[in-house]
Amino acid sequence: GTKVMGQPYKPPSFLLPTSWQELVAFGEQIQQITLHTANDCVPPIPSGFPLPGTLAPAYVHFLRVHSHGDARFCLSELYLEQELYPKLQEQLERATLAQALGNDSGHIATARQYLSVAPADELIAEHLGVPLGTPLMQALRWACNPQGLIVYWAKVRFISQYVHMEMDLLK
């Protein structure tokens, strides 16, 4: 009466990017599906969050789900300054927004990220298949051009077992 069971499934764990260059490279490790795109949007910067730069009049909004193999692990709500969209549109069909913006200092002069834990809402439950209220790792990211205009804003939510962080404490 012995039953042999395989090892339990252990999802891959990705190191959360801590620099713009790492964020661009992170796009190489994942697959993405664009679920929705809309023009003439404004990023929903949370109430009380310090405005990191000047908002443009309009942004293109992307709702994307990211996966590794068959496992969906991340949902991104991304905003690209609308005047940049025609220049990057072709690249965005196969690349992440950070990859499309690349490391060009003409597009990106400052870039930041704010990490927190947030509960899964209806949008996450629908697209990532987790129960409402599931704790997720949330990254709010933004990048400004040399003039201080916010050209990129992102609200990225990860199922927490798929990501980890590493920091140099002497840096």
The reported pLDDT for the residue numbered 40 is 97
Asked, for residue 9, whether it belongs to a domain, the answer is: no
Range of the domain at 43: 14-164
The answer to the question of residue 1 being in a domain is no
pLDDT confidence of residue 46:
87
Query: How would residue 12 be classed by pLDDT, with cut points 50, 70 and 90?
Result: confident
User: Does the residue 99 lie in any domain?
Assistant: yes
| Range among 14-28, 100-114, 151-165 with highest mean pLDDT value | 151-165
Residue 127 counted as domain residue? yes
What pLDDT is stored for residue 47 in this prediction?
A: 85
Answer yes or no: is 5 within a domain: no
Over residues 121-147, the pLDDT tens digits come to 999 999 999 999 999 999 999 999 999
In whole angstroms, what is the distance from residue 17 CA to residue 165 CA? 8
Q: Residue 73 to residues 36, 45, 108, 168: CA-CA distances in angstroms?
A: 18, 23, 27, 26
Query: Is the pLDDT confidence value at 22 over 80?
Result: yes
